[in-house]
Structure 1
């Protein structure tokens, strides 16, 4: 008897819980209905009703799905995408999942995200392979994704070519600068060589040494140096010294002569 009472108590709680769940689901659906009646006239009021439906029954995919559609109509695609993804996550039946993924694909196409849209339409067809609208949209999304990929590849090629041209210009500029430096160094070397040639005579001897020899010692020992204005030549100096010596000898001879005349003769020595 005790076990029968427990069973009946558990059964009554389960029934009450199921009824409560049904009431929550029913209330959520009622809010969705209210939102649908307001969407064409008052978006803000309709949005509030959809949010109430989600709050009352978060696992009710219909609330998130209809709110996503409302955002889609107002071109608020970011919010629409979030709500449709929410609906797909809580969807219980294949049909609910199909609708949610189909609208995810539509929203992604509006955002020019064709590759992602292809996957969304594939998921829609997995849950309802007979839906021709999803199949058609999949073909459109694939073509769009292909075109985007081609454009992306072309842009990469263009960027690559632009980078190569940039590198070539840089390389040409460096070569030009190196050539100019080499030309400058060559000119400096030629000038140094020219200056060096100017310092040498026809025999390759330094002209400075030649000039020094002209100004200093004679080329040949037999060549007499030419006297310079205001200066005595070595020969003139020698002649002058000899004349002075001769004159001095004459003077000394005269002095000696005078001394000889006045000198007394020494007497003979006595024994």
Structure 2
């Protein structure tokens, strides 16, 4: 019996807590809705700053509020702040629990993407909106416009890519042609330098030859060099031997000496020969 009473007490307490929690949620939702209504009134009066503050309070009171995020996104859209508007409508789409809420959020996301010229993403957003409400003709019309813009954008991009490719190819061809011309010019310059050096060398040799022809001293020197070469080609006496000239001189000296001796002997014969005698005592 005691256990049964404890169980009943726990159930009553849980029910009481649940009721209190539901009551708090209802109060938060009521406050959030009041802030949304206040924000809508301020937005109609073009007081977007105050409207933005009211919507933010609504989200603060009820973070899961789809209406607060959706209306705040619309407020940013009206001021041209498409980045913040896109963020808030994406929040609304994530928090939405009904097809109606999802359709409105995706439809507005598509509109924002169209403003940013992101046509491919806008097509997908409108498709999501139609999945939640296929009967909306406005969304269907926006989808057709987005598809057309997407094709135009892709064609333009392809044309620009083609022009860029053609320009790069042309630049590459011009660069290759210039490099080839530079190489040819460098080679021609090298060949010309070689020809100039060869011409200078030939001219230098010719000038030197003419200069030698006008110098008699050099000719005498060349003649002396020839005689010196001939002299060097003659046989040279070896050490300890008489040269032919020395032998000739020696023979002439001996002949002269012999002739002198002969002449002396002939002279003595003509005078007579003296005979030695003993003395008389």
Do both proteins adopt the same fold according to a TM-score greater than 0.5, normalized to the shorter chain?
Answer: yes
| TM-score, length basis structure 1 | 0.72
- Please name the residue that 2:59 is paired with: 54
Counterpart in 1 of 2:92? Answer: 87
| Residue pairs, 1:89-108, within 5 angstroms | 89-108=94-113
Give the equivalent residue in structure 1 for 2:24: 20
Residue 69 of structure 2 corresponds to 64
Q: Secondary structure at the match of 2:64?
A: coil
Partner residue in 2 for 1:73: 78
CA 1:28/1:194 → structure 2, altered by over 3 Å: closer, same or farther? same
Q: Residue 151 of structure 1 corresponds to which residue in structure 2?
A: 156
Query: Deviation digits for residues 96-143 of structure 1, max 9, x if unmatched?
Result: 111111111101111111111111112112222222211111111111
Cα separation, 1, equivalents of 2:185 and 2:73: 69
Structure 1's unaligned 5+ residue stretches are 222-267
Deviation larger for 66-75 or 18-27 = 18-27
Conservation of the 8 A alpha-carbon contact between 1:25 and 1:57: yes
Aligned to 1:38: 42
Residue of structure 1 in register with 2:10 after alignment = 6
1:234-249 paired onto structure 2 within 5 Å: none
**Which residues in structure 2 correspond to 1:104-119 (within 5 Å)?**
104-119=109-124
Q: Which runs of 5+ in 2 are unaligned?
A: 227-273
1:162 counterpart = 2:159: no
| In 2, Cα distance between equivalents of 1:198 and 1:73 | 91
Kept in 2: contact 1:68–1:81 (CA 8 A): yes
Distance 1:77 1:269 in 2: 173
Q: Post-superposition shift, 1:209? A: 11
Aligned structure 1 segments of 4 or more residues deviating by more than 6 angstroms = 268-271
Deviation (angstroms), 1:19: 2.3
In 1, Cα distance between the equivalents of 2:61 and 2:112? 26
- Across the aligned residues of Structure 1 and Structure 2, the Cα RMSD in angstroms comes to 2.8
Counterpart of 1:122 in structure 2 is: 127
- Which structure is larger by alpha-carbon Rg, 1 or 2? 2
Q: Which residue of 2 aligns with 1:224?
A: none
Instruction: Verify the 8 A CA contact 1:199 1:208 in the aligned structure 2.
Output: no
> Aligned with 1:39: secondary structure?
helix
Aligned twin of 1:264:
none
**Given the alignment, which residue of 190, 199, 223 partners 2:195?**
190
| Aligned 8 A contact 1:54 1:60 in 2 | yes
User: How many residues end up aligned between the 2 structures?
Assistant: 219
Q: Per-residue deviation at 1:70?
A: 0.8
SS at match of 1:59: coil
